[in-house]
Amino acid sequence: MATDLHFLMTSAHRLVERTGGGLRYRPAIPNQSRLYVINNNGPYIGTATDVQRRFDPRLSSLWEMGIDEDELNNILIEIFRIEIGGNAAPPDNYGDSFINVWNGGQWEEIVVDVEHLLIRIITQIAGTDVRNTQKWQNPFDNPFPDRLNWYIVDRNNQVTRNGSIDAGQSL
């Protein structure tokens, strides 16, 4: 038996437009709990329980510093929804998703640091360095009692990368 974990890209944001009092993303960044990847001079992986609230003040700060939409349009932000075992598993502000699994005749809550896993996938599998350094140096340990299959899925519902981590193993 195995547990499937999907990183489902729900949207990508590059276009920043000027509004009356600042800048905004088009399409709008969702106000949902998601992982995000900022692609600008190497990826930065983050998590927020409200991604829109995470980015709005930052965009306002850039506007106030005089950085305009032409400079910001070179930065791509990808937003990912998390599913574990076919169920939505939104991450918290620390990158953790929570899922209940049946293990040895009882339900057990498993905490999965999906932010850490995505960082390790990008650094170890894709061979790309990341700009945030807190979680990339330590291995990601499979927290499940069985194999963990992971999938990165694009907006066209196509798997772009996948792999697995056996029970008791690390990436």
pLDDT band at 62 (very low <50, low <70, confident <90, very high): confident
Residue 73 belongs to what H/E stretch?
none
What per-residue confidence (pLDDT) applies to 46? 95
Amino acid at 127: G
Mean pLDDT of 54-82: 87
pTM of model > 0.85:
yes
> Longest Cα pair distance anywhere in the chain, in angstroms?
59
What per-residue confidence (pLDDT) applies to 148? 98
Mean pLDDT of 1-10: 95
Amino acid at 130: V
Residue 57 belongs to what H/E stretch?
helix 51-64
Residues 6+ apart with CB under 8 A from 130: 42, 43, 44, 45, 119, 122, 123, 136
pLDDT of 137 > 90? The answer is no
Q: Tokens 């963990």 identify what position? A: 148
